[in-house]
Structure formats: structure tokens, C-alpha cells
Amino acid sequence: MPFGLGDTDYSIKYNFRKEKQGSDLPAITASFNIEPPTGNAKLKLGSGLTDYYLNSIFQKTLSSKNTLRVNAGATFAGNTLTGVVGIQTRGTIFTGGVSFMRQFTRNLDFGVEFYGGHTIDANLGRDAVQEQLGGNYEISKGLTIDFGAIAGQAVGSPHFGMQIGFSKTSDRSRVRI
């Protein structure tokens, strides 16, 4: 069983437009991720390859309690999985998703997300279609417990999965997923 540090991800995110009250236009943000091969590929702790991913995020607040997000992106080289579960085939993977989040109480957010990915090169094995139900509950100021259930179809999707974790912010603002 491999043990140690894997490849390192670096991400740059820039907000091009913030939402403005009364405007029909969404907030627009983009991120660019680079994953250089910092893990030991011989120990299956890295791919030995550099991955590049560009993503765009559009967010529109529909009401004080409802938020809609749309993502679109592309992995231009590589994949988002490395090491034991990674693949060595190179190619472009297009991704997209839409999520709807509702604030039910001051402390509880719950939402649904649909996500997909597609590549023309079947050797990449990354076509994906999946759905997630999840949310977060604020335990104390700036600390949430996050949870979700995933169901997927296609070769690049998990058949079923559960997620649980914690998020902490230092500025004491509410964490939104």
C-alpha cells in the first residue's frame, strides 16, 4: 500500500464580476489549476505528468434563501486523479454542472447538484454523469459540518458515495457549498 505525499495542486481564482442587487447578471469567477508531478510516481503517489484545468463559475442569487450556480470547464492535459487511481492517457475533458442551494434555517443549507464530464477520446475513461444531494450545518461561527450523498452513471462516476467533512473560515463568515 503506497504511503506518502502525492502530486501538489496549485490554483488561481479570480472574481471578474460580483453580483449586484437588482441586476439580472450573475457573479462570474474563473479558476486555473496546475498539478505538477511532485509525488513519487514509482510508489504510485503521483502521475509523473503535469495536469492543467480551467473552470468558470457563474452564480445568481434568486432570492434571499435560494442560489443557483453553473460551472463549465476543461482539463486540457491530464486528469484530476493521480497515483493508484490515476490514468496516464492525455487529452481534453470537458466538464459542466449546475447546482441549486436553499437556506432552510439560519444554520442549515441544503442543495442538489448535477455534474457531467465528456471527452472525445474514450481511452481517457472519464465520461461522467452524477448527482449529489448535500448541505452544511453551522455548528458555531465559521465552522460547518458538510455532508452529501452521490449517485453516478458512466465509467468516470462513482456508483454511490457519501461525503462528510468540516469547513472552517477564519473571517467568521458563513461557509456556502
**What is the pLDDT at residue 176?**
47
**What is the pLDDT at residue 22?**
85
Quick check: 41 pLDDT over 80? no
Which domains can be identified in the chain, with CATH numbers? Answer: 10-168 (2.40.160.40)
CA-closest candidate to residue 37, choices 27, 50, 23, 25: 50
Quick check: 97 pLDDT over 90? yes
Q: Residue 79: CB partners within 8 Å, gap ≥ 6?
A: 47, 51, 86, 87, 93, 124, 126
pTM of the entire predicted model: 0.72
Residue 87 and residue 79: Cα distance in Å, rounded? 7
User: Which tens digit of pLDDT belongs to each residue from 46-83?
Assistant: 767 778 889 999 999 999 999 999 999 988 766 555 54
Highest mean pLDDT range out of 38-52, 85-99, 110-124? Answer: 110-124
Residue 173 and residue 33: Cα distance in Å, rounded? 25
**What is the pLDDT at residue 127?**
73
Residue 34 and residue 45: Cα distance in Å, rounded? 17
DSSP 105: S
User: Which tens digit of pLDDT belongs to each residue from 101-159?
Assistant: 999 999 999 999 998 888 777 666 667 788 999 999 999 988 999 999 988 887 666 78
**What is the pLDDT at residue 16?**
94
User: Which tens digit of pLDDT belongs to each residue from 15-33?
Assistant: 999 999 888 899 999 999 8
Query: Does residue 118 or residue 175 have the better pLDDT?
Result: 118
Quick check: 86 pLDDT over 60? no
